[in-house]
Amino acid sequence: MKARVPKNFKGGAPANLQQLARQAQKMQEEMDVASTELEAKEYSATAGGEAVKVTVTGGMEVKSIDIKPEVVDPEDIEMMTDLIIAATNEALRNAATEKEEVMSKISGGLNMPGLF
């Protein structure tokens, strides 16, 4: 089978490929900068009517857990555990959501595995 060259083809493929490669490199650089900035940011969430506050970094690490003393009940450690888990998961979701939004803006909505 013979490949057909489109009409009006002027042999501009190498230049277009180079331009595409430059655009991809620029996008990758922008994503690297954004990723570094996002990892330095902090995200907080609360649970139990602000009884528990968890702060995480954009790098998905727990930075602090603040617990109001009046909600600490030695008889109900399970509730405290649930509040900490809920606040932690919400803070992590906040960080992941912002990262996804920022990266989507940079990539123009393209989903390119391995870039972010």
Give the burial string for 84-97 (b: 16+ CB within 10 Å, else e).
bebbbebbbebbee
Q: Please name which of 83, 44, 81 lies closest in space to residue 63, comparing C-alpha atoms.
A: 44
* pTM > 0.75: yes or no: no
CATH number, domain 43-103: 3.30.1310.10
Written as six digits, the tokens of 114 are: 């391995």
pLDDT tens digits, one per residue of 14-50:
668 888 888 888 888 888 898 899 989 999 999 999 9
Mean local confidence (pLDDT), 2-25: 69
Q: In Å, how far are 8, 36, 44, 70, 98 from 59, measured between CA atoms?
A: 50, 9, 13, 31, 12
One DSSP character per residue, 78-108 reads HHHHHHHHHHHHHHHHHHHHHHHHHHHHHHT
Segment holding 114, helix H or strand E: none
pLDDT tens digits, one per residue of 79-100:
889 999 999 999 999 999 999 9
